[in-house]
A and B are shown apart, each in its own frame.
Chain A
């Protein structure tokens, strides 16, 4: 069965601190995609990143970075020098591709609060 676990329900940091959001997934497929979405207080779901199962290279985008490790089935997300605008709920998601059009299995989300 496919499953995504985000063990951290809530995280609170002070501005400029670094913070890592954990994501652990389960799947029997060898080909899959992993995603992170951001849901700010306004409620929309904002795509942040997509990673395929064959690419374990870490990725950095500005203050955001992602660490994908197949050996531990983890896809963790780090925000460097956090800002108040980073306050949101962050969702990790798994997509098993074949014949399913990218159906997403979401984790429960981690609510990040960045205080000034």
Chain B
């Protein structure tokens, strides 16, 4: 089975530009998570979905960030407009509630650099 797929793997953009990160969860998983990793703040949860519905977006830093999950096999995280402080590695993860452990499987991450 394919794991969690993220694209692009690397993104370099200029301040003020719109950035869209993409995630394809593992087929059959009903939870999807977006995490951000920075040196200062470590790994932090931004938002998560259950059955395509956003459940908790309290980690989204500000209105410049938005996330959608139009169907069970695709999610996007958008930053508009981007700022240098958004530079980080963004991870997508998915899990299946049928497993009592809710074990999360992580994608390879997207390294975002905003200049």
Contact (A43, B33) CB under 8 Å given A103-B45, A106-B43 = no
Q: Which residues, 22 to 64 on B, are CB-close (under 8 Å) to A?
A: 30-31, 33, 35, 42-45, 48, 50, 55-56
Q: A103-B33, A108-B42 are in contact. Are A33 and B109 (CB under 8 A)?
A: no
Number of interface residues of B (CB under 8 A): 27
Chain B interface (Cβ < 8 Å from any Cβ of A): 30-31, 33, 35, 42-45, 48, 50, 55-56, 89, 91, 93, 95, 97, 100-106, 108-109, 111
The 4 closest A-B pairs by CB, nearest first: A102-B102, A101-B31, A106-B43, A45-B106
Could you say which residues of chain B place their CB within 8 Å of the CB of A101? Answer: 30-31, 33, 48, 50, 55, 95, 97, 102
Q: Are B101 and A52 touching (Cβ within 8 A)?
A: yes
